[in-house]
């Protein structure tokens, strides 16, 4: 059942307010009162959608992670030697459009949510490539490639003057094809 557009709009407004407050405040210092003031809504509206600020934060992270994995899962080549062009293009496009949100969430209270998703990517690649996680060579080959790709993406995400997304997508495709 699809979510009502008003619900989606309200939740997005609250999420935007959280992103705005995270620019100048630690997550633990943000109150519902300050958030609803920025969002120009009421406390009751906030509590209709979220349990507390932590719940809202986790929804923001889930939105970004779900979008990333949706693109990963729908564009990962199902043929072992197929081109990774579509995958790298979709991932870099998504990261570029979500750059502000990802940079904001990356270092909330010292957490690095991008590093936290690495094990999930490793598991997905092991599954898609039909590699055996118990096989040391298979496992560490995937760990090496995923860690390197995530490292490139994080550096690109945090660059003061990031390279064009098409350049990063091409470099990633080249790296993947070499593995």
Asked if residue 82 has pLDDT above 80, the reply is: no
Asked if residue 2 has pLDDT above 70, the reply is: no
Main-chain phi, psi angles of 150, to 5 degrees: -65, -40
Residue 109, number of CB atoms within 10 A of its CB: 9
pLDDT value of position 103: 87
Measured over the CA atoms of residue 77, residue 79, residue 81 and residue 82, the dihedral's sign is negative
Asked if residue 13 has pLDDT above 80, the reply is: yes
Could you tell me the pTM of the whole model? 0.85
| Domain boundaries, given as residue ranges, for the chain | 1-50, 59-178
Instruction: Look at residues 138, 152, 141 and name the one whose alpha carbon lies nearest to residue 88.
Output: 152
Mean pLDDT, residues 78-86: 75
pLDDT value of position 36: 97
Pairwise CA distance, residues 176 & 172, whole Å: 6
Asked if residue 110 has pLDDT above 80, the reply is: no
Q: Which CATH number applies to 1-50?
A: 1.10.10.60
Two structure tokens written together for 141: 């080959």
Mean pLDDT, residues 149-164: 92
Mean pLDDT, residues 58-82: 87
- What pLDDT digit, counting tens, does each position of 128-153 carry? 989 999 999 999 999 999 999 999 99
Average pLDDT of the chain to the nearest whole number: 90
Asked if residue 31 has pLDDT above 80, the reply is: yes
Q: Which residues contact 119 (CB under 8 A, 6 or more apart)?
A: none
pLDDT value of position 4: 87
Q: Which residues contact 7 (CB under 8 A, 6 or more apart)?
A: 49
């Amino acid at each position: 059942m699809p979510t009502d557009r008003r619900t989606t709009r309200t939740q997005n407004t609250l999420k935007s307010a959280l992103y705005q407050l995270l620019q100048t405040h630690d997550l633990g210092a943000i109150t519902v009162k300050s958030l609803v003031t920025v969002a120009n809504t009421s406390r009751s509206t906030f509590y209709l959608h979220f349990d507390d600020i932590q719940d809202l934060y986790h929804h923001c992270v889930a939105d970004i992670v779900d979008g990333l994995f949706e693109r990963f899962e729908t564009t990962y080549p199902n043929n072992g030697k197929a081109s990774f062009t579509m995958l790298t293009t979709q991932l870099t496009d998504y990261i570029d459009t979500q750059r502000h949100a990802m940079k904001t969430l990356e270092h909330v209270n010292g957490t690095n949510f991008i590093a936290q998703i690495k094990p999930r990517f490793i598991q997905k690649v092991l599954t898609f490539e039909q590699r055996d996680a118990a096989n040391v060579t298979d496992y560490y080959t995937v760990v090496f490639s995923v860690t390197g790709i995530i490292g490139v993406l994080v550096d690109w995400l945090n660059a003061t003057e990031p390279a064009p997304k098409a350049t990063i997508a091409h470099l990633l495709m080249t790296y993947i094809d070499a593995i």
